[in-house]
A and B are shown apart, each in its own frame.
Chain A
Protein backbone atom coordinates (compact mmCIF):
# COMPACT_ATOMS: atom_id res chain seq x y z
CA UNK A 1 0.00 0.00 0.00
CA UNK A 2 1.14 3.52 -0.75
CA UNK A 3 -0.28 6.71 0.65
CA UNK A 4 0.18 10.30 -0.46
CA UNK A 5 -1.42 13.57 0.53
CA UNK A 6 -1.84 17.00 -0.93
CA UNK A 7 -3.73 19.73 0.92
CA UNK A 8 -6.74 17.90 2.40
CA UNK A 9 -6.73 15.09 -0.17
CA UNK A 10 -5.33 11.65 0.68
CA UNK A 11 -4.74 9.05 -2.00
CA UNK A 12 -4.26 5.38 -1.15
CA UNK A 13 -3.06 2.98 -3.84
CA UNK A 14 -2.62 -0.77 -3.49
CA UNK A 15 -4.25 -3.04 -0.98
CA UNK A 16 -4.85 -2.04 2.64
CA UNK A 17 -3.85 -5.07 4.68
CA UNK A 18 -1.35 -4.86 7.50
CA UNK A 19 -1.13 -3.17 10.87
CA UNK A 20 1.62 -1.07 9.28
CA UNK A 21 -0.87 0.14 6.65
CA UNK A 22 -3.22 1.24 9.42
CA UNK A 23 -0.40 3.10 11.16
CA UNK A 24 0.57 4.88 7.90
CA UNK A 25 -3.02 5.93 7.26
CA UNK A 26 -3.46 7.13 10.85
CA UNK A 27 -0.20 9.12 10.82
CA UNK A 28 -1.06 10.79 7.49
CA UNK A 29 -4.63 11.67 8.43
CA UNK A 30 -3.64 12.83 11.93
CA UNK A 31 -1.20 15.30 10.37
CA UNK A 32 -4.00 16.81 8.26
CA UNK A 33 -6.93 16.85 10.63
CA UNK A 34 -5.67 19.67 12.86
CA UNK A 35 -5.80 22.12 9.97
CA UNK A 36 -8.66 20.63 7.93
CA UNK A 37 -12.26 20.10 8.92
CA UNK A 38 -12.95 18.27 5.67
CA UNK A 39 -10.79 15.43 4.39
CA UNK A 40 -11.09 13.68 1.03
CA UNK A 41 -9.83 10.10 0.96
CA UNK A 42 -9.49 8.24 -2.30
CA UNK A 43 -8.97 4.48 -2.03
CA UNK A 44 -8.04 3.74 -5.60
CA UNK A 45 -7.94 -0.04 -5.86
CA UNK A 46 -7.98 -1.83 -2.50
CA UNK A 47 -10.36 -4.80 -2.59
CA UNK A 48 -11.02 -4.70 1.14
CA UNK A 49 -10.13 -2.78 4.27
CA UNK A 50 -9.15 -3.75 7.82
CA UNK A 51 -11.38 -3.18 10.82
CA UNK A 52 -8.74 -0.98 12.47
CA UNK A 53 -8.87 1.45 9.53
CA UNK A 54 -12.68 1.43 9.60
CA UNK A 55 -12.61 2.08 13.34
CA UNK A 56 -10.19 4.95 12.90
CA UNK A 57 -12.29 6.64 10.16
CA UNK A 58 -15.38 6.13 12.30
CA UNK A 59 -13.71 7.94 15.19
CA UNK A 60 -12.71 10.79 12.85
CA UNK A 61 -16.34 11.33 11.90
CA UNK A 62 -18.12 10.63 15.18
CA UNK A 63 -15.67 11.93 17.78
CA UNK A 64 -13.42 14.43 16.00
CA UNK A 65 -16.30 15.75 13.81
CA UNK A 66 -14.18 15.58 10.67
CA UNK A 67 -16.14 15.64 7.44
CA UNK A 68 -14.81 12.53 5.66
CA UNK A 69 -15.52 12.18 1.95
CA UNK A 70 -14.42 8.85 0.55
CA UNK A 71 -13.96 7.79 -3.06
CA UNK A 72 -13.71 4.07 -3.68
CA UNK A 73 -12.44 2.46 -6.88
CA UNK A 74 -13.17 -1.22 -6.23
CA UNK A 75 -16.70 -2.65 -6.29
CA UNK A 76 -15.93 -5.33 -3.63
CA UNK A 77 -14.84 -2.68 -1.15
CA UNK A 78 -17.91 -0.62 -2.02
CA UNK A 79 -20.10 -3.65 -1.26
CA UNK A 80 -18.36 -4.26 2.06
CA UNK A 81 -18.86 -0.63 3.14
CA UNK A 82 -22.50 -0.92 2.11
CA UNK A 83 -22.93 -4.13 4.15
CA UNK A 84 -21.51 -2.34 7.15
CA UNK A 85 -23.82 0.64 6.61
CA UNK A 86 -20.82 2.95 6.33
CA UNK A 87 -21.51 4.51 2.92
CA UNK A 88 -23.38 7.45 4.37
CA UNK A 89 -21.06 7.86 7.39
CA UNK A 90 -17.99 8.19 5.15
CA UNK A 91 -19.95 9.84 2.30
CA UNK A 92 -18.72 7.14 -0.07
CA UNK A 93 -18.89 7.61 -3.82
CA UNK A 94 -17.47 5.51 -6.63
CA UNK A 95 -14.39 6.90 -8.33
Chain B
Protein backbone atom coordinates (compact mmCIF):
# COMPACT_ATOMS: atom_id res chain seq x y z
CA UNK B 1 0.00 0.00 0.00
CA UNK B 2 1.46 3.46 -0.92
CA UNK B 3 2.61 5.53 2.11
CA UNK B 4 -0.01 8.28 1.69
CA UNK B 5 -2.84 5.76 1.46
CA UNK B 6 -1.51 3.98 4.56
CA UNK B 7 -1.41 7.28 6.49
CA UNK B 8 -4.99 8.12 5.50
CA UNK B 9 -6.12 4.66 6.60
CA UNK B 10 -4.37 5.05 9.97
CA UNK B 11 -5.84 8.51 10.49
CA UNK B 12 -9.31 7.21 9.69
CA UNK B 13 -8.91 4.35 12.15
CA UNK B 14 -7.64 6.75 14.83
CA UNK B 15 -10.60 9.05 14.27
CA UNK B 16 -13.06 6.16 14.49
CA UNK B 17 -11.44 4.95 17.71
CA UNK B 18 -11.58 8.44 19.27
CA UNK B 19 -15.17 8.87 18.23
CA UNK B 20 -16.08 5.49 19.75
CA UNK B 21 -14.31 6.40 23.01
CA UNK B 22 -16.11 9.76 23.16
CA UNK B 23 -19.48 8.07 22.72
CA UNK B 24 -18.65 5.67 25.56
CA UNK B 25 -17.46 8.55 27.77
CA UNK B 26 -20.65 10.52 27.12
CA UNK B 27 -22.84 7.50 27.90
CA UNK B 28 -20.91 7.14 31.17
CA UNK B 29 -21.38 10.85 31.92
CA UNK B 30 -25.12 10.42 31.57
CA UNK B 31 -24.98 7.49 33.98
CA UNK B 32 -23.12 9.61 36.54
CA UNK B 33 -25.64 12.48 36.41
CA UNK B 34 -28.62 11.35 38.44
CA UNK B 35 -32.03 12.88 38.01
CA UNK B 36 -34.76 11.45 40.23
CA UNK B 37 -37.20 14.00 38.77
CA UNK B 38 -36.95 12.99 35.16
CA UNK B 39 -40.25 14.24 33.74
CA UNK B 40 -41.62 14.45 37.26
CA UNK B 41 -43.28 17.11 39.31
CA UNK B 42 -42.99 17.33 43.08
CA UNK B 43 -46.50 17.04 44.43
CA UNK B 44 -46.20 18.18 48.03
CA UNK B 45 -47.97 21.27 49.48
CA UNK B 46 -47.60 22.88 46.07
CA UNK B 47 -46.98 21.27 42.73
CA UNK B 48 -43.39 22.06 41.75
CA UNK B 49 -42.38 21.66 38.14
CA UNK B 50 -38.66 20.87 38.03
CA UNK B 51 -36.90 21.39 34.71
CA UNK B 52 -33.28 21.09 33.70
CA UNK B 53 -31.15 22.42 30.89
CA UNK B 54 -27.88 20.56 30.50
CA UNK B 55 -26.00 21.42 27.36
CA UNK B 56 -22.31 20.48 27.30
CA UNK B 57 -20.17 22.40 24.83
CA UNK B 58 -18.20 19.27 23.96
CA UNK B 59 -19.04 15.65 24.54
CA UNK B 60 -16.85 15.76 27.64
CA UNK B 61 -18.48 18.30 29.92
CA UNK B 62 -16.89 20.39 32.66
CA UNK B 63 -20.36 20.80 34.20
CA UNK B 64 -22.35 18.17 36.03
CA UNK B 65 -25.59 18.15 37.96
CA UNK B 66 -27.65 15.85 40.05
CA UNK B 67 -31.19 15.95 41.46
CA UNK B 68 -32.27 13.57 44.20
CA UNK B 69 -35.43 12.80 46.11
CA UNK B 70 -34.24 12.28 49.69
CA UNK B 71 -37.59 11.51 51.28
CA UNK B 72 -41.21 12.62 51.13
CA UNK B 73 -40.35 16.23 51.97
CA UNK B 74 -36.72 16.79 51.04
CA UNK B 75 -35.12 17.20 47.62
CA UNK B 76 -31.46 17.83 46.89
CA UNK B 77 -29.84 19.53 43.90
CA UNK B 78 -26.18 19.74 42.98
CA UNK B 79 -24.40 21.68 40.24
CA UNK B 80 -20.65 21.27 39.76
CA UNK B 81 -18.59 23.45 37.42
CA UNK B 82 -14.98 22.29 36.95
CA UNK B 83 -12.33 24.98 36.35
CA UNK B 84 -11.67 25.59 32.67
CA UNK B 85 -12.80 23.25 29.94
CA UNK B 86 -11.86 19.82 28.63
CA UNK B 87 -10.87 16.55 30.19
CA UNK B 88 -9.42 17.80 33.51
CA UNK B 89 -12.52 19.89 34.33
CA UNK B 90 -14.73 17.00 33.32
CA UNK B 91 -12.84 14.50 35.50
CA UNK B 92 -13.23 16.79 38.51
CA UNK B 93 -16.94 17.44 37.92
CA UNK B 94 -17.78 13.80 37.24
CA UNK B 95 -15.67 12.37 40.08
CA UNK B 96 -17.28 14.72 42.57
CA UNK B 97 -20.81 14.10 41.31
CA UNK B 98 -20.28 10.37 41.31
CA UNK B 99 -19.01 10.42 44.91
CA UNK B 100 -21.85 12.65 46.13
CA UNK B 101 -24.45 10.40 44.51
CA UNK B 102 -22.91 7.37 46.18
CA UNK B 103 -22.95 9.04 49.61
CA UNK B 104 -26.57 10.11 49.06
CA UNK B 105 -27.53 6.53 48.11
CA UNK B 106 -26.02 5.30 51.37
CA UNK B 107 -27.64 8.08 53.42
CA UNK B 108 -31.04 7.32 51.90
CA UNK B 109 -30.51 3.62 52.55
CA UNK B 110 -29.82 4.31 56.24
CA UNK B 111 -32.34 7.15 56.51
CA UNK B 112 -29.55 9.46 57.68
CA UNK B 113 -29.29 12.28 55.17
CA UNK B 114 -27.28 15.26 56.39
CA UNK B 115 -26.28 18.20 54.20
CA UNK B 116 -23.52 19.04 56.65
CA UNK B 117 -21.91 15.60 56.39
CA UNK B 118 -22.38 15.58 52.62
CA UNK B 119 -20.50 18.86 52.17
CA UNK B 120 -17.78 17.87 54.64
CA UNK B 121 -17.20 14.42 53.18
CA UNK B 122 -17.22 15.56 49.56
CA UNK B 123 -14.64 18.27 50.37
CA UNK B 124 -12.47 15.69 52.12
CA UNK B 125 -12.81 13.36 49.13
CA UNK B 126 -11.95 16.04 46.57
CA UNK B 127 -9.02 17.69 48.40
CA UNK B 128 -6.39 15.10 47.40
CA UNK B 129 -7.77 14.90 43.87
CA UNK B 130 -7.74 18.62 43.08
CA UNK B 131 -4.53 20.04 41.55
CA UNK B 132 -2.51 22.70 43.39
CA UNK B 133 -4.08 25.63 41.56
CA UNK B 134 -7.36 24.05 40.67
CA UNK B 135 -10.71 25.23 42.00
CA UNK B 136 -14.20 23.99 41.47
CA UNK B 137 -17.52 25.81 41.79
CA UNK B 138 -20.34 23.91 43.46
CA UNK B 139 -23.97 24.46 44.46
CA UNK B 140 -25.37 22.21 47.20
CA UNK B 141 -29.11 22.95 47.54
CA UNK B 142 -31.56 21.21 49.87
CA UNK B 143 -35.30 21.91 49.86
CA UNK B 144 -37.58 20.90 52.69
CA UNK B 145 -41.23 21.29 51.74
CA UNK B 146 -42.40 20.36 55.26
CA UNK B 147 -40.79 23.50 56.69
CA UNK B 148 -40.75 25.52 53.46
CA UNK B 149 -37.06 26.13 53.84
CA UNK B 150 -33.98 25.93 51.68
CA UNK B 151 -30.47 25.14 52.93
CA UNK B 152 -27.54 25.96 50.72
CA UNK B 153 -23.80 25.83 50.50
CA UNK B 154 -22.56 27.65 47.41
CA UNK B 155 -18.89 27.58 46.46
CA UNK B 156 -18.04 30.36 43.98
CA UNK B 157 -21.22 29.88 41.96
CA UNK B 158 -23.22 32.72 40.39
CA UNK B 159 -26.01 34.02 42.63
CA UNK B 160 -29.09 31.83 42.35
CA UNK B 161 -32.37 33.63 41.72
CA UNK B 162 -35.72 33.35 43.48
CA UNK B 163 -38.91 35.19 42.72
CA UNK B 164 -41.58 35.75 45.37
CA UNK B 165 -45.35 35.94 44.98
CA UNK B 166 -45.14 39.74 44.61
CA UNK B 167 -42.68 39.28 41.70
CA UNK B 168 -39.68 40.55 43.69
CA UNK B 169 -36.35 39.01 42.77
CA UNK B 170 -34.17 37.66 45.57
CA UNK B 171 -30.55 36.59 45.07
CA UNK B 172 -28.80 33.82 46.95
CA UNK B 173 -25.11 34.65 46.80
CA UNK B 174 -22.26 32.22 47.33
CA UNK B 175 -21.49 31.72 51.00
CA UNK B 176 -18.14 30.02 50.29
CA UNK B 177 -15.21 30.72 47.95
CA UNK B 178 -14.64 28.24 45.07
CA UNK B 179 -13.61 24.88 46.49
CA UNK B 180 -9.85 24.30 46.42
CA UNK B 181 -7.29 21.75 47.56
CA UNK B 182 -6.48 23.16 50.99
CA UNK B 183 -9.89 24.46 51.97
CA UNK B 184 -11.22 23.03 55.23
CA UNK B 185 -14.06 25.30 56.33
CA UNK B 186 -17.46 25.75 54.82
CA UNK B 187 -20.73 27.51 55.54
CA UNK B 188 -24.29 26.31 55.21
CA UNK B 189 -27.10 28.87 55.37
CA UNK B 190 -30.83 28.57 55.16
CA UNK B 191 -33.71 30.73 54.07
CA UNK B 192 -37.47 30.67 54.25
CA UNK B 193 -39.09 29.97 50.88
CA UNK B 194 -42.75 30.02 51.84
CA UNK B 195 -43.42 33.05 49.67
CA UNK B 196 -41.24 31.94 46.76
CA UNK B 197 -42.78 30.82 43.47
CA UNK B 198 -39.76 30.30 41.22
CA UNK B 199 -36.13 29.28 41.60
CA UNK B 200 -33.20 29.31 39.19
CA UNK B 201 -29.85 27.64 39.88
CA UNK B 202 -27.14 27.79 37.23
CA UNK B 203 -23.44 27.56 36.45
CA UNK B 204 -21.55 30.51 34.99
CA UNK B 205 -21.77 29.26 31.38
CA UNK B 206 -25.11 30.95 30.79
CA UNK B 207 -24.26 34.38 32.23
CA UNK B 208 -20.79 34.64 30.70
CA UNK B 209 -22.09 33.97 27.19
CA UNK B 210 -21.64 36.90 24.83
CA UNK B 211 -24.90 38.22 23.45
CA UNK B 212 -25.52 38.99 19.80
CA UNK B 213 -24.77 42.71 20.27
CA UNK B 214 -21.21 41.67 21.34
CA UNK B 215 -21.13 44.44 23.91
CA UNK B 216 -22.76 42.61 26.79
CA UNK B 217 -22.93 39.19 28.35
CA UNK B 218 -26.16 37.38 29.21
CA UNK B 219 -25.58 38.38 32.86
CA UNK B 220 -27.20 41.69 31.93
CA UNK B 221 -30.41 39.96 30.87
CA UNK B 222 -30.86 36.88 33.02
CA UNK B 223 -32.72 38.53 35.91
CA UNK B 224 -35.28 40.18 33.70
CA UNK B 225 -35.69 37.11 31.51
CA UNK B 226 -36.12 34.85 34.55
CA UNK B 227 -38.70 37.23 35.98
CA UNK B 228 -40.72 37.02 32.79
CA UNK B 229 -40.38 33.28 32.23
CA UNK B 230 -43.06 30.91 33.42
CA UNK B 231 -41.21 27.76 32.40
CA UNK B 232 -37.68 26.68 31.50
CA UNK B 233 -38.78 26.66 27.85
CA UNK B 234 -39.62 30.38 28.12
CA UNK B 235 -36.19 31.15 29.59
CA UNK B 236 -34.38 28.90 27.11
CA UNK B 237 -36.10 30.62 24.19
CA UNK B 238 -35.18 34.05 25.56
CA UNK B 239 -31.54 33.02 26.13
CA UNK B 240 -31.00 31.49 22.70
CA UNK B 241 -32.68 34.44 20.98
CA UNK B 242 -30.06 36.76 22.52
CA UNK B 243 -26.89 34.81 21.67
CA UNK B 244 -25.26 33.62 18.46
CA UNK B 245 -23.89 30.39 19.90
CA UNK B 246 -23.20 28.74 23.25
CA UNK B 247 -19.61 29.41 24.33
CA UNK B 248 -19.41 27.18 27.41
CA UNK B 249 -21.16 24.27 29.11
CA UNK B 250 -24.63 25.34 30.20
CA UNK B 251 -26.42 23.89 33.20
CA UNK B 252 -29.52 25.26 34.87
CA UNK B 253 -32.30 24.05 37.12
CA UNK B 254 -35.63 25.89 36.88
CA UNK B 255 -38.27 25.21 39.52
CA UNK B 256 -41.76 26.68 39.35
CA UNK B 257 -44.20 26.14 42.23
CA UNK B 258 -47.77 26.25 41.01
CA UNK B 259 -50.80 26.51 43.30
CA UNK B 260 -52.60 24.16 40.90
CA UNK B 261 -55.30 22.84 43.25
CA UNK B 262 -56.24 26.43 44.25
CA UNK B 263 -56.89 27.46 40.67
CA UNK B 264 -58.59 24.39 39.18
CA UNK B 265 -61.57 25.73 37.27
CA UNK B 266 -62.85 22.64 35.52
CA UNK B 267 -62.88 19.03 36.59
CA UNK B 268 -64.60 15.91 35.39
CA UNK B 269 -64.46 12.24 36.24
CA UNK B 270 -64.78 9.50 33.63
CA UNK B 271 -65.28 5.76 33.76
CA UNK B 272 -62.78 3.34 32.25
CA UNK B 273 -64.55 2.74 28.96
CA UNK B 274 -64.03 3.45 25.27
CA UNK B 275 -67.33 5.29 25.32
CA UNK B 276 -65.92 7.63 27.96
CA UNK B 277 -62.68 8.04 25.96
CA UNK B 278 -64.83 9.71 23.29
CA UNK B 279 -66.89 11.55 25.90
CA UNK B 280 -63.75 12.91 27.57
CA UNK B 281 -62.28 14.04 24.23
CA UNK B 282 -65.49 15.87 23.35
CA UNK B 283 -65.62 17.51 26.79
CA UNK B 284 -61.98 18.60 26.51
CA UNK B 285 -62.40 19.93 22.97
CA UNK B 286 -65.45 21.95 23.99
CA UNK B 287 -63.61 23.27 27.03
CA UNK B 288 -60.68 24.44 24.89
CA UNK B 289 -63.01 26.28 22.54
CA UNK B 290 -63.93 28.45 25.53
CA UNK B 291 -60.32 28.84 26.71
CA UNK B 292 -58.62 29.88 23.49
CA UNK B 293 -59.40 30.85 19.91
CA UNK B 294 -55.94 29.74 18.74
CA UNK B 295 -56.85 26.65 16.71
CA UNK B 296 -53.27 25.37 16.45
CA UNK B 297 -52.70 25.37 20.22
CA UNK B 298 -56.17 23.89 20.81
CA UNK B 299 -55.40 21.09 18.36
CA UNK B 300 -52.03 20.37 19.96
CA UNK B 301 -53.66 20.24 23.41
CA UNK B 302 -56.19 17.79 21.95
CA UNK B 303 -53.43 15.52 20.61
CA UNK B 304 -51.68 15.49 23.99
CA UNK B 305 -54.99 14.77 25.72
CA UNK B 306 -55.71 11.83 23.38
CA UNK B 307 -52.26 10.35 24.02
CA UNK B 308 -52.13 10.77 27.77
CA UNK B 309 -55.78 9.96 28.41
CA UNK B 310 -55.39 6.75 26.39
CA UNK B 311 -52.29 5.91 28.47
CA UNK B 312 -54.36 6.42 31.66
CA UNK B 313 -57.10 4.23 30.20
CA UNK B 314 -55.17 1.33 28.69
CA UNK B 315 -51.82 1.26 30.59
CA UNK B 316 -53.12 2.79 33.83
CA UNK B 317 -56.58 1.55 34.72
CA UNK B 318 -56.72 -1.51 32.44
CA UNK B 319 -53.10 -2.45 33.22
CA UNK B 320 -52.15 -3.41 29.65
CA UNK B 321 -48.38 -3.16 29.18
CA UNK B 322 -46.72 -2.08 25.92
CA UNK B 323 -45.75 -5.58 24.81
CA UNK B 324 -49.31 -6.87 25.29
CA UNK B 325 -50.71 -3.85 23.45
CA UNK B 326 -48.47 -4.48 20.45
CA UNK B 327 -49.45 -8.13 20.38
CA UNK B 328 -53.15 -7.26 20.53
CA UNK B 329 -52.68 -4.78 17.67
CA UNK B 330 -50.74 -7.34 15.65
CA UNK B 331 -53.49 -9.90 16.21
CA UNK B 332 -56.10 -7.28 15.40
CA UNK B 333 -58.02 -7.85 18.63
CA UNK B 334 -57.03 -4.64 20.39
CA UNK B 335 -60.40 -2.89 20.68
CA UNK B 336 -62.29 -6.10 21.46
CA UNK B 337 -59.86 -6.83 24.30
CA UNK B 338 -60.19 -3.30 25.69
CA UNK B 339 -63.98 -3.64 25.75
CA UNK B 340 -63.71 -7.02 27.43
CA UNK B 341 -61.34 -5.77 30.12
CA UNK B 342 -63.29 -2.60 30.87
CA UNK B 343 -66.34 -4.69 31.88
CA UNK B 344 -64.59 -5.65 35.13
CA UNK B 345 -62.93 -2.30 35.78
CA UNK B 346 -64.57 0.27 38.04
CA UNK B 347 -61.62 2.63 38.24
CA UNK B 348 -61.99 6.29 37.29
CA UNK B 349 -59.98 8.76 35.27
CA UNK B 350 -60.06 12.30 36.68
CA UNK B 351 -59.29 15.35 34.57
CA UNK B 352 -58.62 18.81 36.01
CA UNK B 353 -57.96 21.95 34.01
CA UNK B 354 -56.91 25.41 35.14
CA UNK B 355 -55.99 28.64 33.44
CA UNK B 356 -53.23 30.74 34.99
CA UNK B 357 -52.23 34.27 34.08
CA UNK B 358 -48.58 35.13 34.25
CA UNK B 359 -46.95 38.34 33.03
CA UNK B 360 -49.73 39.07 30.53
CA UNK B 361 -49.58 35.52 29.18
CA UNK B 362 -52.10 32.81 29.91
CA UNK B 363 -51.29 29.16 30.49
CA UNK B 364 -53.69 26.25 30.45
CA UNK B 365 -52.67 23.40 32.74
CA UNK B 366 -54.28 19.99 32.35
CA UNK B 367 -53.96 17.13 34.79
CA UNK B 368 -55.04 13.53 34.12
CA UNK B 369 -55.09 10.99 36.97
CA UNK B 370 -55.75 7.27 36.80
CA UNK B 371 -56.09 4.62 39.50
CA UNK B 372 -53.60 2.13 38.04
CA UNK B 373 -50.31 0.82 39.38
CA UNK B 374 -48.24 3.67 37.94
CA UNK B 375 -44.78 3.36 36.36
CA UNK B 376 -41.21 4.46 36.88
CA UNK B 377 -40.64 7.65 34.87
CA UNK B 378 -36.93 6.83 34.63
CA UNK B 379 -37.81 4.64 31.64
CA UNK B 380 -38.59 7.89 29.82
CA UNK B 381 -34.91 8.86 29.95
CA UNK B 382 -34.16 6.00 27.56
CA UNK B 383 -37.07 7.06 25.35
CA UNK B 384 -35.90 10.66 25.08
CA UNK B 385 -32.20 9.86 24.77
CA UNK B 386 -32.86 7.44 21.93
CA UNK B 387 -35.88 8.90 20.20
CA UNK B 388 -35.01 6.91 17.09
CA UNK B 389 -35.21 3.48 18.68
CA UNK B 390 -37.92 3.64 21.27
CA UNK B 391 -41.15 2.24 22.42
CA UNK B 392 -43.40 4.97 23.77
CA UNK B 393 -44.09 7.34 20.95
CA UNK B 394 -47.19 8.70 22.71
CA UNK B 395 -45.09 10.41 25.35
CA UNK B 396 -42.72 11.76 22.69
CA UNK B 397 -45.65 13.09 20.65
CA UNK B 398 -47.11 14.65 23.84
CA UNK B 399 -43.86 16.39 24.69
CA UNK B 400 -43.56 17.69 21.13
CA UNK B 401 -47.05 19.17 21.29
CA UNK B 402 -46.88 20.87 24.72
CA UNK B 403 -44.63 23.07 26.86
CA UNK B 404 -43.80 20.05 28.99
CA UNK B 405 -45.25 16.97 30.62
CA UNK B 406 -44.75 16.06 34.28
CA UNK B 407 -45.70 12.87 36.13
CA UNK B 408 -46.14 12.44 39.86
CA UNK B 409 -43.62 10.17 41.56
CA UNK B 410 -45.92 7.15 41.26
CA UNK B 411 -46.64 7.70 37.57
CA UNK B 412 -50.43 7.78 38.02
CA UNK B 413 -50.95 11.50 37.41
CA UNK B 414 -49.64 13.52 34.52
CA UNK B 415 -49.78 17.27 34.07
CA UNK B 416 -49.04 19.29 30.93
CA UNK B 417 -49.04 22.93 29.91
CA UNK B 418 -49.91 25.12 26.94
CA UNK B 419 -49.45 28.83 26.46
CA UNK B 420 -52.57 30.47 25.04
Q: How far is the CA of A49 from the CA of B335 in the complex (A)?
A: 20
Q: How far is the CA of A24 from the CA of B326 in the complex (A)?
A: 19
Cβ of A84: which chain B residues have Cβ within 8 Å of it?
Answer: 387-388, 393, 396
Query: What is the size category of the interface that chain A forms with chain B?
Result: 20 to 34
Cβ of B303: which chain A residues have Cβ within 8 Å of it?
Answer: 15, 17, 48, 50
Check: B281 CB closer than 8 A to any chain A CB.
Answer: yes
Cβ of B393: which chain A residues have Cβ within 8 Å of it?
Answer: 51, 54-55, 84
Cβ of A15: which chain B residues have Cβ within 8 Å of it?
Answer: 299, 302-303
* Contact A51 B387, beta carbon cutoff 8 Å: no
Check: B242 CB closer than 8 A to any chain A CB.
Answer: no
Cβ of A50: which chain B residues have Cβ within 8 Å of it?
Answer: 303, 306-307, 394, 397
* Contact A83 B278, beta carbon cutoff 8 Å: no
Check: B5 CB closer than 8 A to any chain A CB.
Answer: no
Check: B400 CB closer than 8 A to any chain A CB.
Answer: yes
In the assembled complex, how far is the CB of residue A81 from the closest CB belonging to chain B, in whole angstroms? 11
Main secondary structure on B side of the interface with A: helix
Chain A residue, CB-CB nearest to B398: A51
Contact of B278 among A18, A47, A59, A63 (CB under 8 A): A18
Pick from B277, B281, B388, B393 the residue with the most CB of A within 10 Å: B393
| Residues of chain B from 316 to 355 with CB closer than 8 A to chain A in the complex | 326, 329-330, 335
Q: How far is the CA of A83 from the CA of B306 in the complex (A)?
A: 20
* Contact B387 A17, beta carbon cutoff 8 Å: no
Chain A residue, CB-CB nearest to B395: A51
Q: How far is the CA of A17 from the CA of B326 in the complex (A)?
A: 20
Q: CB-defined interface of A22-57 with B at 8 Å, one 1/0 digit per residue?
A: 010000000000000000000000011111101110
Q: CB-defined interface of B386-420 with A at 8 Å, one 1/0 digit per residue?
A: 01110001101100110000000000000000000
* Contact B401 A52, beta carbon cutoff 8 Å: no
Cβ of B296: which chain A residues have Cβ within 8 Å of it?
Answer: 47
In the assembled complex, how far is the CB of residue A45 from the closest CB belonging to chain B, in whole angstroms? 11
Q: How far is the CA of A85 from the CA of B390 in the complex (A)?
A: 10
In the assembled complex, how far is the CB of residue A27 from the closest CB belonging to chain B, in whole angstroms? 11
Check: A94 CB closer than 8 A to any chain B CB.
Answer: no
Cβ of B150: which chain A residues have Cβ within 8 Å of it?
Answer: none
* Contact B299 A17, beta carbon cutoff 8 Å: yes
Cβ of A52: which chain B residues have Cβ within 8 Å of it?
Answer: 310, 394
Chain B residue, CB-CB nearest to A64: B330
In the assembled complex, how far is the CB of residue B330 from the closest CB belonging to chain A, in whole angstroms? 6
Chain B residue, CB-CB nearest to A76: B400
Q: How far is the CA of A18 from the CA of B393 in the complex (A)?
A: 16
In the assembled complex, how far is the CB of residue A36 from the closest CB belonging to chain B, in whole angstroms? 18
* Contact B306 A48, beta carbon cutoff 8 Å: no
Contact of A47 among B300, B335, B394 (CB under 8 A): B300
* Contact B330 A51, beta carbon cutoff 8 Å: no
Check: B274 CB closer than 8 A to any chain A CB.
Answer: yes
In the assembled complex, how far is the CB of residue A64 from the closest CB belonging to chain B, in whole angstroms? 10
Given A17-B306, A59-B330: A47 in contact with B397 (beta carbons within 8 A): no
* Contact B329 A19, beta carbon cutoff 8 Å: no
Cβ of A85: which chain B residues have Cβ within 8 Å of it?
Answer: 387-389
* Contact A48 B400, beta carbon cutoff 8 Å: yes
Chain A residue, CB-CB nearest to B277: A19
Cβ of A20: which chain B residues have Cβ within 8 Å of it?
Answer: 278
Contact of B329 among A17, A56, A80, A83 (CB under 8 A): A56
Q: CB-defined interface of A53-92 with B at 8 Å, one 1/0 digit per residue?
A: 0111001000100000000000000001001110000000
Q: How far is the CA of A17 from the CA of B330 in the complex (A)?
A: 22
Q: How far is the CA of A52 from the CA of B387 in the complex (A)?
A: 17
Cβ of A48: which chain B residues have Cβ within 8 Å of it?
Answer: 299-300, 303, 397, 400-401
Cβ of B326: which chain A residues have Cβ within 8 Å of it?
Answer: 55
* Contact A19 B281, beta carbon cutoff 8 Å: yes
* Contact B310 A19, beta carbon cutoff 8 Å: yes
Q: CB-defined interface of B177-195 with A at 8 Å, one 1/0 digit per residue?
A: 0000000000000000000
Q: How far is the CA of A50 from the CA of B309 in the complex (A)?
A: 12
Supplied contacts A51-B396, A52-B394, 10 more A-B pairs, CB within 8 Å: A17-B303, A19-B274, A20-B278, A51-B307, A51-B393, A55-B393, A80-B397, A83-B396, A84-B387, A85-B388
List 29 interface pairs A-B (beta carbons < 8 Å), by A numbering: A17-B281, A17-B302, A17-B306, A18-B278, A18-B281, A20-B278, A47-B299, A47-B300, A48-B397, A48-B400, A49-B397, A51-B307, A51-B393, A51-B396, A52-B310, A54-B393, A54-B397, A55-B326, A55-B393, A56-B329, A59-B330, A63-B330, A83-B387, A83-B396, A84-B387, A84-B388, A84-B393, A84-B396, A85-B389
Chain A interface (Cβ within 8 Å of chain B)? 15, 17-20, 23, 47-52, 54-56, 59, 63, 80, 83-85
